[in-house]
Amino acid sequence: MFLPTLIFVPSLTALAVLVCKGLKQVRVVALAGSLVQLVLSLLLFVQYRQERNAGNDAQWLWEWDYTWFEPLHINFRVGVDGISIAMILLTAFVVAAGVLVSWTMEKLSKEFFFLLIFLGMGAYGFFISLDLFTLFFFLEVAVIPKFLLIGIWGSGKKEYSAMKLALMLMGGSALVLVGVLGIYFNSDIGNGQHSFDLVAIAQTGISPQAQNIFFPFAFAGFGIFTALFPFHTWVPDGHSSAPTAASMFLAGISMKLGGYGCLRVATYLMPEGAQTYAWIIILLATIAILYGAFATMMQTDLKYINAYSSVSHCGFVLLGIGMLTQISITGAVLQMVSHGLMTALFFAAIGMIYERTHTRMVAQLGGLLKVMPFISTVFVIAGLCSLGLPGLSGFVAEMTVFVGSWQNADTWYRVATILACASIVVTAVYILRATGKAIMGPMSNAYDNLADARWNEKLAAGILVIGILAMGIAPFWIQDLVKPGTESIVQRLLGF
């Protein structure tokens, strides 16, 4: 497969959206583009399976290289392994669902869909890049639209949230840039030349001293994207002010950019640094998991509940990475995919509820199952996935993280693992409280005439539920997909 297609299709869709007139044309074009992308991603997955089954065990498939700026060795170099494909699939699912959920976005529809597609394009570019510079470039591409999406189409104190999110993510980007430049200037691909090329750097390696200096920058920078404690406070504000589709993208895709970067850039290129700082990562991740869960328990707004639970769930990603065992890193990747699907579904359901009842406060809702069985079922499925019910994706991911973490035989890491396990109880508490109050219980008469989901909403939820079920009922395929990728990372970790 020609990988840059994955960037061209969204770019063309975004341009086509700009040419369209009116909501009706815009949304059809956007949907068509995102469906084409979904098909392409699935095709990519199938072809990947074929290649691997045919015995192709190259680390990167379908590499493609284009020199961008020769003097500084900046290339536009792309290639994928299992981890990237898992992320691309996730992005494709979430983008398609996000477009469907925004089907009736009347306000500035052209700009809205343009930004959505553009954001998706950044994510695709990020996940296929094998060059640190282009990687960073696409990371920035994926940040800017969020500011506009929240600032223009948001609700509540949207200006504040948009600014906060943009500033904190930019801060993260700045740290990432320091890390990337540190890697660049300490790389040596022969003749004292520096390179941004991820593959070349991985082959030659970086001195341990440099790793110890620049690992924290790269990891914390990407960590901010994935809600690393204590830099997670953009998550609740950003998510709660964003329009539904933007929340889905934010939690489903943007936060995964961080996790992927932590893994691919920080841990993969600087394994020794990762080992030096593993205990800090685990400490912060454990705090995020438990503290996020407890803070969630006290929230009264559905979006805040989901946003704080994202802090807790993304903690599992960082925990998995910090434990540095093959199973735990696989678990971290699975958790990224699972959380992306689950939280997107959750935000979609919350958005549908909000659109009808005009409130997101748990205390004001009640008994919605009666008038909106479909939306309520979706909400419950997302909630059950969040609390790790077997058969849904959350269970597979969390258990892989737990089992993997447990393989790390250090006693204190085990204590951290047990504490992380304890969060599944707290998760159950807040999910069931919200469900018990909003979905079940007596219904207020004011909601008597509310309608259930429309076709586009059903389709959006359906796409995500299929993803969740596919991963939850038959986890072996995604496990097989991700494993070769994590093995290459772990080999580097063991190499030192």
Partner 1 sequence: MADYSYIALVPLLPLATFVLLGLAGKNRLVKWSGYIGSATMLGSAVISLYAAYQYFFVNGKTGDAYAEITALRYTWLEFAPGLSIDMGIILDSISVMMLVVVSFISLMVHIYSVGYMKGEERVTTYFSFLSLFTFSMLALVVSSNIFQIYIFWELVGVSSYLLIGFYYQKPSAVAASKKAFIVTRFADLGFLVGILILAFYSGSFDIGTIINRATDSQSEAFTGLVSAGFLGMSALTWSLVLVFAGGAGKSAMFPLHIWLPDAMEGPTPVSALIHAATMVVAGVYLVARLFPVFYIDEIAMQVVTYVGAISALVAAIIACTQTDIKRILAYSTMSQIGYMMFALGVSGYGGEEGLGYTASMFHLFTHAFFKSLLFLGAGAIIHFVHSNEMKDMGGLRKWMPVTHITFLIACLAIAGVPPFAGFFSKEEILLAAYQSDKIVYGIGLFVAALTAFYMFRLYFSVFWKKEAADASHHGEGTWSMKLPLIVLAGCTVVVGFIHFGNYISSDGAPLPTHFDIRFSIAPVVSAVAGILLAAYLYKKESDRPAKFATALGRLYRAAYKKFYIDEIYLFITKKIIFNLIGAPAAWFDRNIVDGIMNLLASGTARTAALIKGMQSGRVQSYALYFFGGVVALAILLIYIWI
- Which residues of the shown chain bind partner 1 in the complex (CB under 8 A)? 164, 167-168, 229-234, 291, 294-295, 297-299, 308, 326-327, 330, 367, 369-370, 373, 384, 387-391, 395-396, 399-400, 402-404, 406-407, 411, 417-418, 421-422, 424-425, 428-429, 432-433, 436, 439-443, 475-476, 479
Which residues lie closer than 8 Å to 189 by C-beta, 6 or more apart? 73, 195, 197, 200, 201, 204
- Complex with partner 1: residue 44 or 307, whichever CB lies closer: 307
CB 268 within 8 A of CB 321: no
Tokens at 201, concatenated: 């750097």
- Complex with partner 1: residue 165 or 210, whichever CB lies closer: 165
- Complex with partner 1: residue 9 or 251, whichever CB lies closer: 251
Minimum CB distance to partner 1, residue 27 (Å): 28
- Complex with partner 1: residue 127 or 231, whichever CB lies closer: 231
Minimum CB distance to partner 1, residue 407 (Å): 7
By CB atoms closer than 10 A (0-12, 13-18, 19+), residue 494 is exposed
Task: Name which of 265, 279, 382, 260 is nearest 322 in CA terms.
Answer: 279
Minimum CB distance to partner 1, residue 364 (Å): 16
Report residue 321 CA to chain centroid gap: 15
- Complex with partner 1: residue 203 or 411, whichever CB lies closer: 411
| Angle between the N-to-C axes of helices 373-386 and 455-473, in degrees from 0 to 180, rounded to the nearest 10 | 30
Minimum CB distance to partner 1, residue 1 (Å): 27
Alpha-carbon gap, residue 222 to 267, rounded angstroms = 11
- Complex with partner 1: residue 11 or 233, whichever CB lies closer: 233
Minimum CB distance to partner 1, residue 419 (Å): 11
How many Cβ atoms sit within 10 Å of the Cβ of residue 104? 12
Minimum CB distance to partner 1, residue 239 (Å): 14
Alpha-carbon gap, residue 76 to 57, rounded angstroms = 23
Minimum CB distance to partner 1, residue 496 (Å): 21
- Complex with partner 1: residue 41 or 435, whichever CB lies closer: 435
Minimum CB distance to partner 1, residue 436 (Å): 5
- Complex with partner 1: residue 125 or 151, whichever CB lies closer: 151
- Complex with partner 1: residue 111 or 301, whichever CB lies closer: 301
Backbone angles phi, psi at 64, to 5 degrees: -155, 135
Alpha-carbon gap, residue 387 to 433, rounded angstroms = 12
Minimum CB distance to partner 1, residue 294 (Å): 4
CB 101 within 8 A of CB 351: yes
- Complex with partner 1: residue 152 or 432, whichever CB lies closer: 432
Minimum CB distance to partner 1, residue 269 (Å): 25
Tokens at 73, concatenated: 């060795």
By CB atoms closer than 10 A (0-12, 13-18, 19+), residue 252 is buried
- Complex with partner 1: residue 52 or 370, whichever CB lies closer: 370
Minimum CB distance to partner 1, residue 295 (Å): 5
How many Cβ atoms sit within 10 Å of the Cβ of residue 262? 27
